[in-house]
Amino acid sequence: MIPKRPIIVVDAGIPGAEESLAPLGEVRAVAAEKLSADRLRDATALVVRSVTRVDDALLDGTSVRWVGTATAGQDHVDRRALRRRGIRFASALGANAESVGDWVISALLELALRRETPLRGLAVGVVGVGQVGRRLVPRLAALGLTVWQNDPPRQRRAERAGRPHPFLPFSRVVERSDILTLHVPLVREGPDRTVALVDAAVLDRMRPGSWLLNASRGSVVDGGALLAALHRGAGPSAVALDTWEGEPRPDRALVARADLATPHVAGYAIDSKVEANRRVAGALARFLGVPEPPHPGSRTIPVILTPGPVGDPRDPLASERRLAELARRAYPILEDDRRLRAALPDGFEGLRTGYPERRLFSRYGVRLGPADPLRGAVERALRMRRVR
């Protein structure tokens, strides 16, 4: 029996969640590190982030009937335990996909400038073509990259249905790619296991001078093997990591060796957080059998950007310089990198809970002439709208 005024316990570190959930019941905000079975004794619903492990130990002796996570990832929730207890579950799958894509585009532009390597003509392997990966593929192509795709579950489904598909085996994608970007869920067992997907053997097979990006889960990359490869000059020559083994205490040596290091905030654009709250609140409303609460919406940003001049046509990095300038003004990824390096060893989680507001690239407008050679990349890769 669901009480008329259900008690909803929510992680206090989820911006805007209290406001979104307030029409549905009595909301109690609790810091993630203080969430416990005692705090949930009389709760009907629980809303968490990825920092909270939801399992039998947390749920024993509670009245929780519904669990939601304001994240795309679900590996912190023991779904089997929920099913045994008859507890319903919902996630914000896909809510942060565009934000993660912005992080990837920003990271690639920064790496291109640091390595003085134009992106056009390089091959990028997208490993995991789900909510993030499938949205990222056309953005990467708009930068002039050749895109290889790997997603075994989707490949099997397509082949069983007799449908054509773009997917290649993981080993072939690794061998063909100058850049590898990871967008898989954390799967601990079975044929599609992704724990240590990128291990010493994979690192050794990567192309000389290749780049590795990870904005999925830290344990998808064997951090020790990656650090060893970097020390001996093998594997990727450039690394951009947003997720880390051992969070919230990542290996400081690996952080130091990474070209770009950010504190698991790729999906943290405020627009994505608003959307995640909307999805979680809507799922809870359906469970409770009440109308979905009104959506607060994302504030329209009034900023119009103007890129720098076209520059020297002989400069092979002219496009990357102009695109990076626009990307930095919308999302200063180098500030995230600087803050993480300064915050270690103990400040990782504080960077996430106190993260400054950032907007999606698509919330910005860019003044471009109709013949500007940057137009296609701005509209399709950065997803910024052109304005007159």
Shared domain check, 247 and 156: yes
* Catalytic machinery residues: 217, 247, 264
Does residue 330 lie within any of the structural domains? Answer: yes
Query: In this structure, what CATH number is given to the domain that contains residue 332?
Result: 3.30.1370.170
Backbone angles phi, psi at 156, to 5 degrees: -65, -40
**pLDDT above 90: percentage of residues in the chain:** 88
Does residue 296 lie within any of the structural domains? Answer: no
Res 298: pLDDT: 53
**Could you tell me the pLDDT band of residue 296, with boundaries at 50, 70 and 90?**
low
Q: How far is residue 108 CA from its own chain's centroid?
A: 15
Residue among 249, 242, 297, 241 nearest 267 (CA): 242
Cβ neighbours of residue 134 closer than 8 Å, sequence gap 6 or more: none
Alpha helix (H) ranges present in 32-96?
Answer: 56-59, 79-85
pTM of the model: 0.93
Cβ neighbours of residue 362 closer than 8 Å, sequence gap 6 or more: 98, 383, 384, 385
Tokens for 207, please give them: 């192309």
User: What is residue 147's three-state secondary structure?
Assistant: strand
Query: In this structure, what CATH number is given to the domain that contains residue 69?
Result: 3.40.50.720
Shared domain check, 344 and 242: no
Res 297: pLDDT: 58
What range does the domain containing 53 cover? Answer: 7-91
Number of domains present in the structure of the chain: 3
Cβ neighbours of residue 220 closer than 8 Å, sequence gap 6 or more: 182, 184, 186, 194, 195, 196, 197, 198, 214, 243
Shared domain check, 78 and 105: no
Shared domain check, 216 and 107: yes
Res 302: pLDDT: 59
Average pLDDT over residues 229-248: 95
Does residue 171 lie within any of the structural domains? Answer: yes
Cβ neighbours of residue 71 closer than 8 Å, sequence gap 6 or more: 49, 50, 91, 92, 96, 267, 276
pLDDT tens for each residue of 133-171: 999 999 999 999 999 999 999 999 999 999 999 999 999
Is the pLDDT score of 368 beyond 80? yes
Average pLDDT over residues 173-189: 96
Shared domain check, 247 and 112: yes
Res 299: pLDDT: 55
Q: Tell me whether the omega of the peptide bond preceding residue 164 falls within 30 degrees of 0, making it cis.
A: no
Average pLDDT over residues 108-127: 98
Average pLDDT over residues 5-11: 96
Shared domain check, 155 and 252: yes
> 305 versus 3: which is more confidently predicted?
305
CA distances to 64, 131, 223, 347 from 30, rounded to whole Å, are: 15, 29, 32, 20
Does residue 267 lie within any of the structural domains? Answer: no
Strand partners, 266: none
Does residue 25 lie within any of the structural domains? Answer: yes
Is the pLDDT score of 184 beyond 80? yes
CA distance 144 to 244: 29
Describe the chain by its helix, strand, coil percentages, rounded to 5.
Answer: 40, 15, 45
